A and B are shown apart, each in its own frame.
Chain A
Amino acid sequence: MNCQNCKSTCSENWIQVDERVGNCSECGAFRTKEGIVSFKLPKFNMKPDFAPLEHYHTILLDENYQKYQFLTTQKQYYSERKKLIELLFSTGKKLRQTRSTVYLAIKYMDIILNTSNEISQIAFKSSFKVIAVVCLNIAAKFDSLDLNAPYPSELQRASGCGIPYDSMIHYEREICKILNWNLKLGTLYHTIEALTHQGIIFSDDTRDQGYSIEEDLQEILFKANNLLEYFMDYITKEAECSHFRSTHQAAACILAVRKLLNLDNPFSTTLSEMLMFTEDEIPPELLKSTNYVISLLELESPEKKDLQPVEAQSTLKSNLKARVKILEKIHDFHSRAFTQKRHCTSVHSSENSSKISNPEITLSSEEENAGLFYYEDSGLQIPYNLDDIELSYIENQIHRQMMSGQMPLGPIRSASVGSDGYGTYKDRISSLLGGNTKGSTSGKENLEDLNNDESPLITEEMYRLTEKLCFGSPSQIMKYSNSRFSKEKDLSKNDFVDFDSDPNTDAKPEIPIA
């Protein structure tokens, strides 16, 4: 039997890792004894000397020796972690380091600052930056392209923080000692790489209840790759996910991707054979995290099916396009509001404020039918179909920020309801955004608030939160939404005319933290 991925005859020469599974000797694709083969993009094809599956097994084995007792009490580090990751990505980019290096640096940083050791016990907020940059330096020396290890002066310049040379040297030695010179650590990036080189879509997969994947195989593979990259970045940013094994993180990402691709059996037996564990072994916290993302992008997620009545499901299903537009508009509005807010703060121009009060966003009847909850006066529209999981997540996020003093409290515009019967929901959303929940349902009554420069509009934190909700730029949202395609939607491709005409659709997705 030929390898369906590279069309070569490798049935006799396939590299057998154990009795049942192995890799194609010509392209490295995963294959089972029964002849089930994985598919992957041509860029991942390689003629392996050793089976890539063996590499993955090495990662699995190594993980047993790389057990770190992560702390859950490092609140200071948790609050700074995202900023530090952003610093690592931006510094890495300036110093032309690879993503692999940056991911490794993040892993070192997590171990150093989030386990019990000599550094974490005495490290304080101001030294986090130095430690993060030193971690990048070590990762670059170990993993980066040859001879691409940056000099201290370059690191100082690129990271934008005045790191004393002696501190760097001191921390470097201490970090190496704490890591016991074991610098080859398994990261999510490396695990995903080992798996994507084998392929995560299999010849026995079907989608949309029995449709073959082979018709749109290239499209599926391309989207799978993009989605996987996106989930990888998402999981890396989540501090709560950093405790878990990289193989489990990778499995959660792959499962999410396969769900979004509408594969009939997202965690199939073949995938389980490749990953060497079952779905039950993936920590539920990880699944919850990825499912949360799916639930925002995927209207037919299992959670939704459980939570929504049947009628609501059908309405939502038929309004995918509207939903994408809504997300885009939220993003667009917040972007402008944030820019305006900054402008208003500095110039105090009433003209600018009035622009906000008269946004150019209009609602179509289609959108209204989609069940929008929107702020009439501001144009801010929020889909009412956020479920309880999503709402509690937003609540937690906002409350946490409020408690830590990052988000200013204050009134914003009151809201009106797009369609009746969602008052409770409206109140929740309104209160979440710091609005006047007791106010009237007419935005016009509080129009003065909008024109008042002292009234906080959308704060930076809120913008970020929305960005998180919307997952990056509009084009990115569209891309991921577009990735959820099916037979029915293919028929009405005009719905996505905007997305298809976007020349950047095929481009690598923008990584929000990079």
Chain B
Amino acid sequence: MEKNNPEEFKVPFSPLLIGRYKMIKKIGKGSYGSVYKVEDIKDRKTATTPDSPKKYFAVKKMKLPANRLKIQGIDFTTLREINILQEIKHENIIPLVDVFHINRSTFMVMELMKSDLSKLMFSRTITLTIPHIKCIMLQIFYGLKELHKNWIIHRDLTPNNLLISEDGVLKFSDFGLSRFFASNNRPMTQNVVTLHYRAPEILFGANYYGPQIDIFSAGCILGGLLLRGTLFCGRNDIDQMSQIFKIMGTPSEETWEGVTNLPHYVEFEETPPQSFRILFPGIDEDLANLLEGLLVLDPNKRLTVEQCINHPFFNKSPDSCDPDELPMDDIS
């Protein structure tokens, strides 16, 4: 079908989108589609002074399904993302500027950001100090607090989806998998969260889960910031679980009530939990305690966002640095 009509779904990509956004260059690509840097021409035209600075934005072009039969109009991930971005206005959530359609594609215009957390996290040239880590984690928790307060689970919290602006402000993006969790009686899919940041309850196939899965992802990110790499780097679900259990200990009914009833529960070789102070020598007790609280296997025992923000780790010296003190200059 697609071969017969190759032009049918091709978007005519003129350099000027809807007569307003001038294409500059392609800056990213992902499973969702492509991201372009654009200049807002209309804004320049309406500017009061001719020397006013150019306004740049990022335009996200949502990918169309390869199979024509699967085209269902506006993709549901796009629909949810637009809705959530439209609704949540917060310093740590990326703002949505505009939405438009060209042929069958949907375009989202968003604030242009400098980089994402993964570049900061995996860079070998940047040194991250405790105040830096505190600043990053607090911004993550503030963003999460806003989402959870509005009954939204992000469900794909990874360093790649945490964008950083020029002045070091961290912003959540990619809400394609997000959903509202206000009801506790509706099953949810397990096909969420990038494998390395996936909570054990999802790996065990739980149909009912809550905002705690975001907390686990935040724990993985904190571990990653300390390790400067991926904390649990499994190749598949089973491998991922074994990596988690190697550190957090094998779950049992005593440590996690109801785990054996989860749909994909499999018994693992019994391993005792390890202390994070051994894994990360040199970290203080509060940080180890926070990490443990974030990565607890039983979601009911995991810390809540509020508890994370009020954790003693953030209240003691050294204090968190300001966002603009983050080492952004070294990121390309």
Which A residues are within 8 Å of any B CB, using their own CB? 43, 46-47, 49-50, 54-55, 58, 98, 100, 137-138, 140-143, 145-147, 149-153, 168-169, 172-173, 176, 180-184, 190, 193-194, 197
- Inter-chain contacts of A142 with B (CB < 8 A): 76, 79-80, 83
Q: Does B73 lie within 8 Å of A190, measured CB to CB?
A: no
Minimum C-beta distance from A229 to chain B (A): 13
Interface membership of B6, Cβ < 8 A: no
Interface membership of B118, Cβ < 8 A: no
Name 7 extra pairs, CB < 8 A, besides A146-B192, A147-B191, A151-B72: A47-B300, A98-B186, A140-B76, A141-B74, A145-B189, A181-B99, A183-B83
Q: Does B185 lie within 8 Å of A43, measured CB to CB?
A: yes
C-alpha spacing A55/B150, complex, angstroms:
8
C-alpha spacing A138/B182, complex, angstroms:
19
Write the B160-185 contact mask toward A (1 if CB under 8 angstroms, else 0).
00000000000000000001101111
Q: Does B72 lie within 8 Å of A49, measured CB to CB?
A: no
- Inter-chain contacts of A43 with B (CB < 8 A): 185
Give me 5 A-to-B residue pairs in the complex whose CB atoms sit less than 8 angstroms apart, sorted by A's number: A137-B72, A141-B80, A146-B191, A153-B69, A169-B104
C-alpha spacing A194/B76, complex, angstroms:
25
Given known contacts A55-B182, A172-B73, A173-B101, A146 and B148 CB-to-CB distance under 8 angstroms: no
Q: Does A169 lie within 8 Å of B73, measured CB to CB?
A: yes
Q: Does B83 lie within 8 Å of A184, measured CB to CB?
A: yes
Q: Does A176 lie within 8 Å of B151, measured CB to CB?
A: no
Write the B99-119 contact mask toward A (1 if CB under 8 angstroms, else 0).
101001000000000000000
- Inter-chain contacts of B149 with A (CB < 8 A): 50, 54
Interface membership of B250, Cβ < 8 A: no
Given known contacts A55-B151, A151-B69, A182-B87, A46 and B79 CB-to-CB distance under 8 angstroms: no
Minimum C-beta distance from B298 to chain A (A): 11
Which B residues are within 8 Å of any A CB, using their own CB? 69-70, 72-76, 79-80, 82-83, 86-87, 99, 101, 104, 148-151, 179-180, 182-189, 191-192, 210-212, 300, 304-305
Q: Which residue of A lies closest to B150 (CB)?
A: A58
Given known contacts A49-B211, A58-B151, A172 and B74 CB-to-CB distance under 8 angstroms: yes
Q: Which residue of A lies closest to B210 (CB)?
A: A49
Given known contacts A146-B189, A149-B76, A46 and B184 CB-to-CB distance under 8 angstroms: yes
- Inter-chain contacts of A145 with B (CB < 8 A): 186-189
- Inter-chain contacts of A49 with B (CB < 8 A): 148, 210-212, 304-305
Q: Does B74 lie within 8 Å of A176, measured CB to CB?
A: yes
- Inter-chain contacts of B185 with A (CB < 8 A): 43
C-alpha spacing A386/B84, complex, angstroms:
50
Q: Which residue of A lies closest to B81 (CB)?
A: A181
Minimum C-beta distance from A239 to chain B (A): 27
Looking at chain A's contact residues, is the secondary structure mostly helix, strand, loop, or mixed? Answer: helix
Minimum C-beta distance from A459 to chain B (A): 41
Q: Does B73 lie within 8 Å of A181, measured CB to CB?
A: no
C-alpha spacing A145/B79, complex, angstroms:
14
State which of B74, B76, B86, B184 has its C-beta within 8 Å of the C-beta of A182: B86
C-alpha spacing A367/B87, complex, angstroms:
59
- Inter-chain contacts of A98 with B (CB < 8 A): 186
Q: Does A190 lie within 8 Å of B99, measured CB to CB?
A: no
Q: Report the number of A-B residue pairs with Cβ-Cβ less than 8 Å.
A: 85
Minimum C-beta distance from A331 to chain B (A): 32
- Inter-chain contacts of B75 with A (CB < 8 A): 141
Q: Does A184 lie within 8 Å of B180, measured CB to CB?
A: yes
Minimum C-beta distance from A139 to chain B (A): 10
C-alpha spacing A181/B72, complex, angstroms:
17
Minimum C-beta distance from A136 to chain B (A): 12
Q: Does A190 lie within 8 Å of B182, measured CB to CB?
A: yes
- Inter-chain contacts of A183 with B (CB < 8 A): 79, 83
For the complex of A and B, list the 4 residue pairs with the smallest distance between their C-beta atoms, beginning with the closest.
A141-B76, A146-B189, A46-B184, A172-B73
- Inter-chain contacts of B191 with A (CB < 8 A): 146-147
Q: Which residue of B lies closest to A190 (CB)?
A: B182
Q: Find the residue from B73, B76, B82, B151 having the highest chain A CB count within 10 A.
A: B73
- Inter-chain contacts of B76 with A (CB < 8 A): 140-142, 149
- Inter-chain contacts of A173 with B (CB < 8 A): 73-74, 101
C-alpha spacing A169/B101, complex, angstroms:
12
Minimum C-beta distance from A361 to chain B (A): 42
C-alpha spacing A176/B304, complex, angstroms:
34
Q: Does A100 lie within 8 Å of B74, measured CB to CB?
A: no
Q: Does B79 lie within 8 Å of A141, measured CB to CB?
A: yes
Minimum C-beta distance from A62 to chain B (A): 9
- Inter-chain contacts of B182 with A (CB < 8 A): 55, 190, 193-194
C-alpha spacing A58/B87, complex, angstroms:
12
- Inter-chain contacts of B99 with A (CB < 8 A): 181
Q: Which residue of B lies closest to A193 (CB)?
A: B183
Given known contacts A146-B189, A147-B191, A182-B87, A137 and B183 CB-to-CB distance under 8 angstroms: no
- Inter-chain contacts of B101 with A (CB < 8 A): 173
Minimum C-beta distance from B98 to chain A (A): 11
C-alpha spacing A150/B191, complex, angstroms:
18
Q: Does A141 lie within 8 Å of B72, measured CB to CB?
A: yes
- Inter-chain contacts of A46 with B (CB < 8 A): 184
C-alpha spacing A146/B73, complex, angstroms:
17
C-alpha spacing A190/B191, complex, angstroms:
25
Q: Find the residue from B80, B87, B151, B180 having the highest chain A CB count within 10 A.
A: B151
Q: Which residue of A lies closest to B182 (CB)?
A: A55
- Inter-chain contacts of B183 with A (CB < 8 A): 100, 193, 197
- Inter-chain contacts of A147 with B (CB < 8 A): 189, 191
C-alpha spacing A181/B180, complex, angstroms:
16
- Inter-chain contacts of B186 with A (CB < 8 A): 98, 100, 145
State which of A54, A55, A138, A194 has its C-beta within 8 Å of the C-beta of B79: A138
- Inter-chain contacts of B79 with A (CB < 8 A): 138, 141-142, 176, 183
- Inter-chain contacts of B210 with A (CB < 8 A): 49
Q: Does B87 lie within 8 Å of A137, measured CB to CB?
A: no
Q: Does A151 lie within 8 Å of B70, measured CB to CB?
A: yes
C-alpha spacing A172/B82, complex, angstroms:
14
C-alpha spacing A409/B11, complex, angstroms:
59
C-alpha spacing A339/B236, complex, angstroms:
60
C-alpha spacing A172/B187, complex, angstroms:
26
Minimum C-beta distance from B292 to chain A (A): 19
C-alpha spacing A151/B70, complex, angstroms:
7
- Inter-chain contacts of A194 with B (CB < 8 A): 182
Minimum C-beta distance from B297 to chain A (A): 16
- Inter-chain contacts of B70 with A (CB < 8 A): 151
C-alpha spacing A194/B184, complex, angstroms:
10
Q: Which residue of A lies closest to B79 (CB)?
A: A141
Minimum C-beta distance from B140 to chain A (A): 16
Q: Does A50 lie within 8 Å of B86, measured CB to CB?
A: no
- Inter-chain contacts of B87 with A (CB < 8 A): 182, 184
- Inter-chain contacts of A169 with B (CB < 8 A): 73, 104
Q: Does B151 lie within 8 Å of A181, measured CB to CB?
A: no
C-alpha spacing A31/B72, complex, angstroms:
45
C-alpha spacing A69/B299, complex, angstroms:
44
Minimum C-beta distance from A384 to chain B (A): 44
C-alpha spacing A282/B83, complex, angstroms:
30
